């Protein structure tokens, strides 16, 4: 549900501010948050749900962003073992890296399977990098909201326990 809200917010922001000049990947912040806080099983399922929301909101090939989102979730989980991610800067860096990885991965996979005349150009990489940077800049605010939402759910669960 949160991924849908973030995708809607992303669409509204891009329509009002960008007009198609740049992209944002706000649901990627939730994907990174899940990789850092959720258990492996439930996190992977939630990452697939976030990827599905990305698939539906982008209008592209179904399943492409879902598989990239799950792969990104697993990559961040693996990276978390080696590097301690704390604070806003680390979260923003991971969000930017994840947004770039998902976008560049989708570009590369689309180029690999599309007919020659329909292949997207590598000249889109600067736009991908700009979208990743803007996502990283917006991610600290999103992290704050996601942490608050986690706190509300923890309080609700504690109230329901006998």
Ordered mean pLDDT values, 10 residues apiece, the chain (162 residues): 75 68 80 89 91 83 88 90 79 92 90 85 86 89 84 65 60
Give me the number of domains the chain comprises: 1
DSSP state of 121: P
Residue 114: domain span: 2-160
Cα separation values, 33 from 47, 76, 137, 143, Å: 10, 10, 15, 7
The residue behind tokens 């947004």 is 99
The residues, ordered by sequence, that sit 6+ positions from 77 with a Cβ below 8 Å of its Cβ are 35, 40, 43
DSSP string, 35-50: HHHS-HHHHHHHHHHH
pTM greater than the 0.95 cutoff: no
pLDDT value of position 155 = 61
**pLDDT for the residue numbered 150:** 79
């Amino acid at each position: 549900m949160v991924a849908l809200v973030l995708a809607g917010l992303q669409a509204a922001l891009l329509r009002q501010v960008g007009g198609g000049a740049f992209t944002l990947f706000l649901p990627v912040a939730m994907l990174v948050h899940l990789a850092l806080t959720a258990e492996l099983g439930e996190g992977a399922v939630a990452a697939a749900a976030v990827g599905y929301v990305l698939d539906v909101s982008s209008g592209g090939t179904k399943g492409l962003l879902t598989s990239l989102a799950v792969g990104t979730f697993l990559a961040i989980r693996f990276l978390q073992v080696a590097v301690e991610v704390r604070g806003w800067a680390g979260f923003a860096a991971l969000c930017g890296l994840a947004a770039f990885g998902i976008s560049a991965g989708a570009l590369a996979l689309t180029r690999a399977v599309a007919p020659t005349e329909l292949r997207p150009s590598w000249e889109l990489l600067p736009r991908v990098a700009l979208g990743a940077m803007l996502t990283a800049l917006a991610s600290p605010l999103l992290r704050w909201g996601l942490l608050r939402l986690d706190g509300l759910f923890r309080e609700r669960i504690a109230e329901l326990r006998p």
